[in-house]
Amino acid sequence: MKTRKLGNSGLEVSAMGLGCMRMSFGDRPTDRQEMIDFLHKAVERGVTFFDTAEVYGPFTNEELVGEALEPFKGQVVIATKFGWKHGPEKEGPHPRFGMDSRPEQIKRVADASLKRLRVECIDLFYQHRPDPNVPMEDVAGAVKDLIQAGKVRHFGLSEANAEQIRRAHAVQPVTALQSEYSIWWRAVEPEILPTLEELGIGLVPYSPLGRGYLTGKIDESTTFAENDIRSRNPRFTPEAIKANRVVVKLLERIGAEKSATPAQIALAWLLAKKPWIVPIPGSRRLERLDENNGAVNIELTSSDISEIENAMSQINVVGDRY
């Protein structure tokens, strides 16, 4: 597996990371030991960058990742997140309780995550979403304290805008921004990508395969479980799935020229955009993991990129992302 550095931070990770959320959160239950074995196989294949959060579960995803990756301490990079209010003890943190990035909450979450992840230091600690009630300077200051205390190595943000990134970065250098970015969701391009490049910050795209749509495996007859986010997503109505099929056909056409799948072309496109971009597609099946990792070895030329982007500029993607 090739590696990449997230901006100017020196944090080196596998060129393809792994989003772990759905291993214990979401649309279908998974067997814990099966997921631990899967994570071990991911490490064997060279994946060194794993993404989790306290809110996934809540708590159970961090516990799973911590148990699975404990034998590989020092060999892997684990990213987790803070930023949600905590409800009743049995509920834990959840978006429905609202945001909470007060410094005292950030520090409390860090201590709890360290235990669940079975590590002495959190490699990358993201603010899960900007908190309108807490200045970015205070958030960055709290993480700076944690870094100085040896509990956190790198500071990250998620879904922050350019101004928020600059304000946080002025207090504590930001290593990575995690935001949705894919061939059919490119809102980060006008302002955020230039800001990251200027400041030397890496980008970690989540949902790089459009929540599975860009794999080409979803059609109008696909049904989603009630607890699957796609069951309520405007891009996954039968009408939108049919209308957006033109995007998949484009990826299939480019893929045929490169002996690659649509998913591999979608991921290779992201990798070709900037050398400091590291996608984190989620996966729970070995064949899908291998397919995604294969994108690292696909070279898209500047003319390939132009062809894809020119074609996409003629396509009207139907439905908002949430």
* pLDDT range class, residue 231, cuts 50, 70, 90: confident
> pLDDT tens digits for 82-136?
999 998 877 889 888 899 999 999 999 999 999 999 999 999 999 999 999 999 9
* Residue 56 a catalytic site member: yes
Q: What is the pLDDT of residue 246?
A: 83
What order do you get walking across the sheet with 202-206 strand by strand? 18-19, 49-51, 77-82, 122-127, 152-158, 174-180, 202-206
Specify the amino acid at residue 67: E
Domain boundaries, the chain: 3-210+274-297
What is the C-alpha separation between 141 and 137, in angstroms, rounded?
6
> pLDDT tens digits for 3-51?
999 999 999 999 999 999 999 877 677 899 999 999 999 999 999 999 9
* pLDDT range class, residue 285, cuts 50, 70, 90: very high
Query: Which class is 3-210+274-297 in CATH?
Result: alpha beta
Average pLDDT of the residues of the chain: 92
* DSSP per-residue letters across 57-99: TTTHHHHHHHHHHGGGTTT-EEEEEE-B-B-STTT-B-GGG-B
Report pTM.
0.94
Active-site residue among 56, 126, 181, 206? Answer: 56
Q: What is the pLDDT of residue 27?
A: 63
Q: What is the pLDDT of residue 91?
A: 82
* pLDDT range class, residue 322, cuts 50, 70, 90: low
| Strand ranges (E), the chain | 3-5, 12-14, 18-19, 49-51, 77-82, 122-127, 152-158, 174-180, 202-206
Q: Find, among 183, 105, 197, the residue nearest to 146 by Cα.
A: 105
* pLDDT range class, residue 234, cuts 50, 70, 90: confident
What is the C-alpha separation between 22 and 11, in angstroms, rounded?
25
